[in-house]
């Protein structure tokens, strides 16, 4: 099946079997491995990307459904070497350990801050609740989002 994906501002032609997920196409066809595989059934949040600005599980979306939409992955957030305030805040607070869940968290937090630049603590927790972290950096990640929201003000 041939399709054209818009990813991080560029168009990519892909030729994949029917029902191929956006996650697989990103990782295995476009080499954008910053979007992580975690469960394949939308329960862990590791594979989140922005689709037309909305944070979604790329393992639950087919290439078909994503064609025509503007997809942004973790690789597409920074402008060259200039990181977003969220990325900077995650570094500054060391809101990571193994970092496997970090891509997804930053994606959802990006969508949150775009919709609500001054989120409450509960709003942050709700927005990030889809993202499981086993290393246990939840409290730091909440702090990172607060810090980024402060910096963006």
Residues engaged in binding other proteins (CB under 8 A): 17, 20, 24, 27-28, 31-41, 43-44, 46, 73-75, 77-78, 83, 87, 90-92, 94, 96-103, 106, 121, 124-126, 128-129, 131-142
Q: Say which DSSP state 113 is in.
A: H
Residue number, 82 or 153, with CB nearest to other proteins:
82
Residue 4 is inside which H or E element, if any? Answer: strand 2-7
Closest approach of Cβ 115 to other proteins, in Å?
17
Residue number, 69 or 83, with CB nearest to other proteins:
83
d(CA 136, CA 24): 27
Residue number, 11 or 80, with CB nearest to other proteins:
80
83 burial via Cβ count (<10 Å: 0-12, 13-18, 19+): middle
Phi/psi at 23 (nearest 5 deg)?
-55, -50
Closest approach of Cβ 153 to other proteins, in Å?
21
């Amino acid at each position: 099946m041939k399709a054209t994906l818009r990813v991080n501002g560029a168009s990519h032609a892909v030729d994949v079997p029917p029902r191929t997920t956006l996650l697989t196409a990103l990782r295995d066809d476009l080499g954008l491995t910053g979007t992580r595989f975690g469960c394949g059934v939308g329960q862990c949040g590791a594979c989140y990307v922005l689709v037309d600005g909305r944070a979604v599980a790329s393992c639950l979306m087919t290439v078909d459904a994503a064609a025509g939409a503007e997809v942004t992955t973790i690789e597409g957030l920074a402008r060259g070497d200039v990181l977003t305030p969220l990325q900077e805040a995650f570094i500054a607070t060391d809101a990571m350990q193994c970092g496997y869940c970090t891509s997804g968290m930053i994606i959802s937090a990006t969508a949150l801050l775009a919709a609500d630049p001054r989120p409450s603590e509960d709003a942050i927790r709700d927005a990030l609740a889809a993202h499981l972290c086993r290393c246990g950096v939840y409290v730091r990640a909440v702090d990172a989002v607060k810090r980024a929201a402060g910096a963006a003000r």
